[in-house]
C-alpha cells in the first residue's frame, strides 16, 4: 500500500512536470540574466525561468523551435562555454555543447541557430572570429568548430541570421571602424552593408516576416539609436533615438522591438511602426545587484524563430525560392528522424494555433491568419489588409479588396484623407469623395479668394475683428510671403512722409547756402574801383594834372586800383590792410602781389 507522503510527493512531481511542459510552450520572450534565463509572455508576465550553473555568466541565446532547445553561451566558465537545454525536460542542468580547444579560451557574445542546417553560428571576441559548428548528433557526437571569418581590426558583437536568404550578419563594435557586414553561410560574398553614422553597433536582429535588419547603436556621449534597414542595408531609417541608455542586444517579433539596456538594467520595447507620440516603455525592470557591472544580456523572441514560411516570404520579395526545407513543427522533425522520409504533409488530429479537427472533412479547420495542413504556418494574409479582405494570388502573394471608404495597397488610407482643401468637410458617396466648403469654393474647396482677402487683413492686424468667419481658419503662419507684401503696403504712407520731410530739409539747406553765396557775390560787385589815367606824347613830356589837349599823336594809359605810384591825381595813403614787406629775400613779383592784395580796402587811393 502506498503511503500518503509517497502519494503526495509523486503528485507534486507529476504536477511540476506538467507545469514545466506547459510553460515550455507558453513563453514569448527570453532574457539571459547572470546564470539563468527568464521567460516572459508578451504582457511582461514571467512564466518560468531556467537556472544553469551558479558560476555561469550567460551572454548569447539561441532557440531551436523544432526540438524546443535553447542554446546559451557562458563567458566565465573556462571549461564549458556553451550549453543546451530542452525546455520540456525538468532538469536544470544543461549538458555541454562545446568545449574550447586545449589551451585556448573562447567568449561567444552572440549566437544564432540555423534549423535547416542544424548549425550554430557565433561571434567570438577571444578568438576575434566568426565561428560555426554543427549540432552534436549520433553520427557526429563531437563536431569541430570552423572559423568562418577571421578579423584583424574588428570587435565582433551582435549576430543575426537570415534563414530564408541564407545570409549571416554581424556587427563590428570597434569604435574606430564601426560597421555591419554580411556574407553567405559558407563565408563567401562578404560585404559591408552599413558603415556610416555608426558609433558602436552592438545588437543585431533579422525580422524574417518584415524583411528588415534591426540594430542598436550606442552613440557617442549619452545618446543611443534603434535603427533598421532592408536586408541589403538600403532604405535605412531611425526607429527611435533617445538618451541615458546603453542598449546591447535586440530582438523582434511580429509587431514589437525589444532591447536590453545596461544603463537601467531593464528590457525596453516599442512598436515596429511607432507613431510620433509613441515612446519606449519598460518591458521588465531588474534590481541592480552589482553596481558598475551590467548583468542583463541577450534577448530572443519565440515568434521570430518558429514557423518561418520561407517560400511565402521569398515569393513576397519576388525572389526565387531556394532549396530550403524547414520542418514545420517538432512533430514533423521527429517524424523525419525516426522514419527517414520526406513525407511531411501527413494529416493528424494535432491541429495547431487553436484550430480544430473536422471529422467530416478529415482536415484541420484553421483560424484566421493560419494556413497549412495542421494550421501550423502563419498566412501571408495575416494582418495584411487593414481595411479590407485579403486573398492570395496565383503566386501566393497577398492582395487586398478594400472597402468603399479606403484605398491603397493594404487598404491603409482613408479615401477622404487630404482630399478636401481649406478645411472643407469630406464625405463618401458611392465610393467617391465629395467636399462641402465653408469659406471657399470648387470641387475640392481649392478656390479661396474671399477668404484670402479677409485672412490677410486679419493676419496683418490681429487686433481687427472679423465677422462672419471663423478666425481659426486663418493660418497666419502660412501667409509669410503675402503678409510681408501687405505689410509693405501698410507702411507706405509713413515712408512717403519721411521722404517728403527729408526733401524739404535738403531744399531748405540748399536755399540757405544759395542765399549766403548771393550775398557775398553782391557785396563783391559793389566794391569801389580806382582808375588812374596817364596821358603822354611822343616827345616824352607828360601833363600831370589834366587830360592832354595837344597833338593827336599823344597816348593814354589807364591803371586801375593803383597806389603809391610816381604820379597820382590825389594823394595816396597807406591802406590799413597793407601787409608789411618781409625782410626775406622775396622777389619783386611777390612784393607786387602783396601790394595789390592790400589795395582791396576802402582807404586805398
pLDDT digits (tens, 9 = 90+) for 44-71: 999 989 888 777 889 999 999 888 899 9
Query: How big is the chain, counted in residues?
Result: 605
Sign of CA dihedral 42, 45, 47, 48: positive
Compute the average pLDDT of residues 356-382.
Answer: 76
Compute the average pLDDT of residues 406-413.
Answer: 83
Query: What is the second-level CATH architecture of the domain 58-301?
Result: 6 Propeller (2.120)
**Is pLDDT larger for residue 529 or for residue 372?**
372
Grid cell locating 602: 576802402
Name the pLDDT band for 407 (thresholds 50, 70, 90): confident
Q: Measured between alpha carbons, how far is 365 from 166 in angstroms, rounded to an integer?
A: 33
Q: Measured between alpha carbons, how far is 98 from 95 in angstroms, rounded to an integer?
A: 9
Q: Measured between alpha carbons, how far is 297 from 247 in angstroms, rounded to an integer?
A: 10
| Burial group, residue 11, by CB count within 10 angstroms (0-12, 13-18, 19+) | exposed
Grid cell locating 206: 533579422
Q: Tell me what pLDDT residue 275 has.
A: 86
Compute the average pLDDT of residues 358-386.
Answer: 76
User: Which residues, at least 6 apart from 494, have a Cβ–Cβ distance to it below 8 Å?
Assistant: none
Would you tell me the crossing angle of helices 480-490 and 449-460 to the nearest 10 degrees?
60
DSSP sequence for 346-377 = ---S---TT-EEETTTTEEEPPTTEESTTS-E
Inform me whether the pLDDT recorded for 455 exceeds 80: no
The answer to which of 229-233, 379-383, 585-589 has the lowest mean pLDDT is 585-589
Question: pLDDT > 70: what percent of the chain?
Answer: 65
Average pLDDT, the chain: 76
Inform me whether the pLDDT recorded for 266 exceeds 90: yes
Q: Tell me what pLDDT residue 206 has.
A: 96
Inform me whether the pLDDT recorded for 88 exceeds 50: yes
Q: Tell me what pLDDT residue 485 has.
A: 44
Inform me whether the pLDDT recorded for 576 exceeds 60: no
Inform me whether the pLDDT recorded for 258 exceeds 90: yes
Inform me whether the pLDDT recorded for 399 exceeds 80: yes
Q: Measured between alpha carbons, how far is 114 from 139 in angstroms, rounded to an integer?
A: 19
Name the pLDDT band for 256 (thresholds 50, 70, 90): very high
Inform me whether the pLDDT recorded for 481 exceeds 70: no
Grid cell locating 303: 515568434
Q: Measured between alpha carbons, how far is 466 from 455 in angstroms, rounded to an integer?
A: 9
Backbone angles phi, psi at 194, to 5 degrees: -140, 125
User: Which residues, at least 6 apart from 207, have a Cβ–Cβ distance to it below 8 Å?
Assistant: 213, 214, 228, 252, 272, 304
The answer to which of 229-243, 324-338, 467-481, 526-540 has the lowest mean pLDDT is 324-338
Q: Measured between alpha carbons, how far is 36 from 94 in angstroms, rounded to an integer?
A: 11
Compute the average pLDDT of residues 265-279.
Answer: 91
Q: Residue 31's closest CA among 86, 87, 72?
A: 72
**Is pLDDT larger for residue 597 or for residue 503?**
503
Q: Tell me what pLDDT residue 147 has.
A: 92
**Is pLDDT larger for residue 560 or for residue 126?**
126
**Is pLDDT larger for residue 186 or for residue 309?**
186
Inform me whether the pLDDT recorded for 414 exceeds 60: yes
Compute the average pLDDT of residues 144-165.
Answer: 90
Three-class SS of residue 204? strand
- Beta-sheet pairing, 247-252 with 237-243: unpaired
Asked if 148 contacts 134 with a C-beta cutoff of 8 angstroms, the reply is no
First to last CA, the chain: 170
Cα of 38 vs its chain's centroid, Å: 34
All CATH 2.120.10.30 domain ranges of the chain, comma separated, are 58-301
Name the pLDDT band for 491 (thresholds 50, 70, 90): very low
The answer to which of 376-380, 390-394, 426-430, 552-556 has the lowest mean pLDDT is 552-556
Grid cell locating 579: 601787409
Q: Tell me what pLDDT residue 574 has.
A: 47
- Interior/surface letters 335-371, b for 16+ CB within 10 angstroms, e for the rest: bbeeeeeeebeeeeeebbbebebeeeeeebebeeebb
Q: Tell me what pLDDT residue 573 has.
A: 47
Name the pLDDT band for 92 (thresholds 50, 70, 90): low
Asked if 261 contacts 286 with a C-beta cutoff of 8 angstroms, the reply is no
Would you tell me the crossing angle of helices 480-490 and 492-525 to the nearest 10 degrees?
40
Most confident of 442-456, 540-554, 584-598: 442-456
**Is pLDDT larger for residue 123 or for residue 101?**
123
The answer to which of 335-344, 347-356, 386-395, 558-567 has the lowest mean pLDDT is 335-344
Q: What are the Cα distances from residue 139, in Å, to 116, 134, 142, 394? A: 17, 11, 9, 42
Asked if 285 contacts 266 with a C-beta cutoff of 8 angstroms, the reply is yes
Three-class SS of residue 470? coil
Name the pLDDT band for 373 (thresholds 50, 70, 90): confident
Amino acid at each position: 500500500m502506498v503511503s500518503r507522503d509517497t502519494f503526495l510527493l509523486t503528485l507534486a512531481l507529476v504536477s511540476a512536470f506538467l507545469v514545466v511542459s506547459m510553460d515550455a510552450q507558453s513563453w514569448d520572450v527570453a532574457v539571459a540574466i547572470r546564470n539563468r534565463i527568464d521567460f516572459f509572455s508578451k504582457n511582461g508576465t514571467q512564466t518560468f525561468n531556467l537556472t544553469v550553473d551558479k558560476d555561469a555568466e550567460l551572454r548569447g541565446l539561441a532557440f531551436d523551435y523544432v526540438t524546443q532547445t535553447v542554446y546559451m553561451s557562458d563567458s566565465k566558465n573556462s571549461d564549458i562555454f556553451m550549453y543546451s537545454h530542452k525546455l520540456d525536460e525538468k532538469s536544470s542542468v544543461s549538458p555541454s555543447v562545446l568545449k574550447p580547444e586545449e589551451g585556448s579560451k573562447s567568449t561567444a557574445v552572440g549566437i544564432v541557430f540555423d534549423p535547416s542546417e542544424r548549425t550554430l553560428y557565433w561571434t567570438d571576441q577571444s578568438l576575434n572570429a566568426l565561428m560555426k559548428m554543427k549540432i552534436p548528433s549520433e553520427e557526429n557526437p563531437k563536431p569541430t568548430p570552423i572559423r568562418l571569418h577571421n578579423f584583424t581590426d574588428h570587435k565582433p558583437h551582435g549576430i543575426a541570421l537570415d534563414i530564408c536568404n541564407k545570409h549571416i550578419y554581424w556587427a563590428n563594435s570597434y569604435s574606430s571602424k564601426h560597421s555591419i557586414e554580411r556574407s553567405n553561410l559558407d563565408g563567401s560574398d562578404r560585404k559591408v552593408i552599413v558603415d556610416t553614422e555608426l558609433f558602436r553597433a552592438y545588437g543585431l536582429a533579422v525580422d524574417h516576416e518584415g524583411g528588415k535588419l534591426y540594430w542598436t547603436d550606442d552613440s557617442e556621449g549619452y545618446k543611443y539609436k534603434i535603427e533598421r534597414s532592408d536586408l541589403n542595408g538600403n532604405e535605412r531609417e531611425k526607429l527611435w533615438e533617445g538618451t541615458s541608455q546603453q542598449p546591447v542586444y535586440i530582438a523582434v517579433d511580429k509587431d514589437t522591438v525589444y532591447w536590453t539596456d545596461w544603463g537601467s538594467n531593464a528590457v525596453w520595447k516599442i512598436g515596429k511602426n511607432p507613431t510620433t507620440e509613441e515612446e519606449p516603455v519598460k518591458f521588465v525592470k531588474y534590481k541592480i545587484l552589482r553596481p558598475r557591472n551590467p548583468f542583463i544580456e541577450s534577448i530572443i523572441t519565440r515568434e521570430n524563430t518558429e514557423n518561418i514560411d520561407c517560400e511565402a516570404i521569398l515569393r513576397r520579395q519576388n525572389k526565387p525560392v531556394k532549396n530550403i526545407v524547414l520542418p514545420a513543427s517538432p512533430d514533423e522533425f521527429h517524424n523525419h528522424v525516426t522514419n527517414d522520409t520526406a513525407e511531411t504533409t501527413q494529416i493528424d488530429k494535432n491541429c495547431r494555433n487553436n484550430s480544430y479537427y473536422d471529422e467530416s472533412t478529415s482536415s484541420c479547420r484553421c483560424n484566421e491568419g493560419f494556413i497549412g495542413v495542421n494550421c501550423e504556418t502563419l498566412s501571408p494574409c495575416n494582418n495584411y489588409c487593414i481595411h479590407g479582405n485579403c486573398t492570395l494570388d496565383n503566386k501566393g502573394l497577398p492582395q487586398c479588396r478594400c472597402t468603399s471608404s479606403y484605398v491603397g495597397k493594404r487598404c491603409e488610407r482613408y479615401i477622404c484623407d487630404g482630399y478636401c482643401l481649406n478645411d472643407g468637410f469630406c464625405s463618401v458617396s458611392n465610393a467617391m469623395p465629395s467636399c462641402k466648403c465653408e469659406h471657399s469654393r470648387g470641387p475640392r474647396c481649392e478656390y479661396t479668394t474671399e477668404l484670402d482677402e479677409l485672412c490677410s487683413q486679419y493676419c496683418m492686424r490681429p487686433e481687427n475683428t472679423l465677422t462672419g468667419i471663423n478666425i481659426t481658419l486663418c493660418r497666419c503662419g502660412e501667409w509669410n510671403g503675402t503678409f510681408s507684401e501687405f505689410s509693405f503696403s501698410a507702411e507706405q504712407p509713413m515712408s512717403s512722409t519721411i521722404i517728403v520731410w527729408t526733401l524739404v530739409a535738403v531744399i531748405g539747406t540748399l536755399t540757405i547756402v544759395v542765399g549766403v553765396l548771393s550775398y557775398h557775390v553782391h557785396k563783391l560787385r559793389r566794391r569801389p574801383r580806382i582808375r588812374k589815367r596817364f596821358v603822354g606824347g611822343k616827345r616824352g613830356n607828360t601833363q600831370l594834372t589834366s587830360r592832354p589837349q595837344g597833338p593827336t599823336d599823344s597816348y593814354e594809359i589807364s591803371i586801375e586800383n593803383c597806389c603809391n605810384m610816381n604820379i597820382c591825381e590825389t594823394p595816396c595813403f597807406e591802406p590799413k590792410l597793407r601787409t608789411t614787406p618781409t625782410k626775406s629775400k622775396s622777389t619783386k613779383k611777390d612784393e607786387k602781389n602783396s601790394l595789390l592784395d592790400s589795395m582791396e580796402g576802402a582807404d586805398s587811393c
